[in-house]
Structures are given as structure tokens and as C-alpha cells.
């Protein structure tokens, strides 16, 4: 939907205003996509709690998942945001492009993760035994698989919200593949 409104601080509930203030302190601004969640009284707080929940996955692994899922869903907003975040987590621009292609050459563990994530999203939750075996062979566990699915779900929510609202991207644009 074009022209979906991005609410400002004075247009959201007091509880969402407090979250906006926190985001300003942590990120330096309120990302437009987070602001859109604040149209709902509870969605922004619920989403941030979900996104920031405990996991067995490292920050770099979460960014691999975020980038692969966002690439598959063609979410320009999330690709821009997670390209910036991936850089903050130490990935180079070339590595980020490899991650988005799910064709990682620089780390076999992350390559197995990216391959599995791509298989899961392409096949609507299903993955081949070969992808699962590769994932487990590099040291991931059954618990890791559950955590991967949680991060995929997190990213699907944001990808879908952006697809429906098409709000302006307020992160530096991600390079095209």
C-alpha cells in the first residue's frame, strides 16, 4: 500500500513513545519499520521482545539468516537495515553479497547455515535431508535448528510488513545483486 503513514512520536501511545525514546538512545533514530509497528498498541513491544529474545545463535549467524530471508523475500528495507548491521558485526561488503546469495565461501559453518535457511524459505518450511545433514555436520544442534526457525519467523514478519506498507527505507540502500 503506497503512502502508508509512518507515525511520529506524538502520534503513538505513551508506551510506544517510551519505546521510541529507547530506540533513539540505542540506534540514534526510530527506524521507519519499527515506527509502523507502533500503529498497534502492542505490536512494537511484542516484536522487539521477540527479536531480542535469548537464542543459541551468535549475532553473525542471526545476520546470515536475516539477509538470506530478506533477499528471498526481496525486502529492500530489511536488506538495507541488515546490510548495515552485518557491517557493524564485522562482515565485509563482498561477504554480505555472498550471504545474500546463500553462496558463502569464507566460512563453512555459515555456508551450511545459509544453505539451510535458503532451503527452508524456498520450500515453505521444508528442507532436504542433505541441507539438514550439512547443518548438523558443522556443529549445529536440534536446539540450533529451533532457534534458526525463530529468527526466520522474526524476519518474515518484518519482510511482510514492509511488503504491505512499502514505507520509505531510512537506511543506506543495499547494493543490488
- What are the structural domains of the chain? 9-51 (1.20.5), 59-165 (1.20.1290.10)
Q: Is the pLDDT of residue 142 over 60?
A: yes
Q: How far apart are CA 8 and CA 84, in angstroms?
A: 23
pTM: 0.96
Q: How far apart are CA 30 and CA 19, in angstroms?
A: 9
Q: Using only C-alpha atoms, what is the Rg of the chain?
A: 17
**Mean pLDDT, residues 110-137:** 98
Q: Name the grid cell of 137.
A: 555436520
- What pLDDT does 169 receive? 97
Who contacts 69 (Cβ-Cβ below 8 Å, separation ≥6)? 78, 117, 121, 152, 155, 156, 159
- What pLDDT does 1 receive? 53
Q: How far apart are CA 173 and CA 170, in angstroms?
A: 8
**Mean pLDDT, residues 25-47:** 97
Q: How far apart are CA 158 and CA 70, in angstroms?
A: 9
Q: Which residue is associated with the grid cell 547443518?
A: 135
Who contacts 1 (Cβ-Cβ below 8 Å, separation ≥6)? 164, 165, 166
- What pLDDT does 150 receive? 98
Q: Is the pLDDT of residue 34 over 90?
A: yes
Q: How far apart are CA 144 and CA 40, in angstroms?
A: 31
- What pLDDT does 3 receive? 86
Amino acid at each position: 500500500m503506497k503512502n502508508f503513514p509512518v507515525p511520529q512520536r506524538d502520534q503513538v501511545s505513551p508506551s510506544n513513545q517510551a519505546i521510541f525514546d529507547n530506540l533513539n538512545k540505542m540506534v540514534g533514530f526510530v527506524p521507519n519499520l519499527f515506527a509502523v509497528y507502533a500503529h498497534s498498541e502492542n505490536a512494537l513491544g511484542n516484536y522487539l521482545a521477540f527479536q531480542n529474545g535469548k537464542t543459541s545463535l551468535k549475532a553473525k549467524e542471526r545476520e546470515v539468516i536475516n539477509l538470506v530471508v530478506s533477499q528471498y523475500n526481496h525486502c529492500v528495507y530489511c536488506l538495507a537495515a541488515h546490510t548495515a548491521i552485518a557491517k557493524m558485526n564485522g562482515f565485509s561488503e563482498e561477504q554480505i553479497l555472498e550471504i545474500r546469495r546463500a553462496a558463502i565461501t569464507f566460512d563453512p559453518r555459515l555456508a551450511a547455515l545459509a544453505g539451510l535457511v535458503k532451503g527452508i524459505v524456498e520450500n515453505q518450511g521444508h528442507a532436504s535431508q542433505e541441507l539438514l545433514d550439512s547443518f548438523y555436520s558443522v556443529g549445529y544442534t536440534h536446539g540450533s535448528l529451533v532457534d534458526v526457525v525463530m529468527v526466520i519467523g522474526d524476519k518474515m514478519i518484518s519482510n511482510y510488513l514492509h511488503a504491505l506498507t512499502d514505507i520509505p527505507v531510512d537506511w543506506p540502500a543495499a547494493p543490488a545483486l
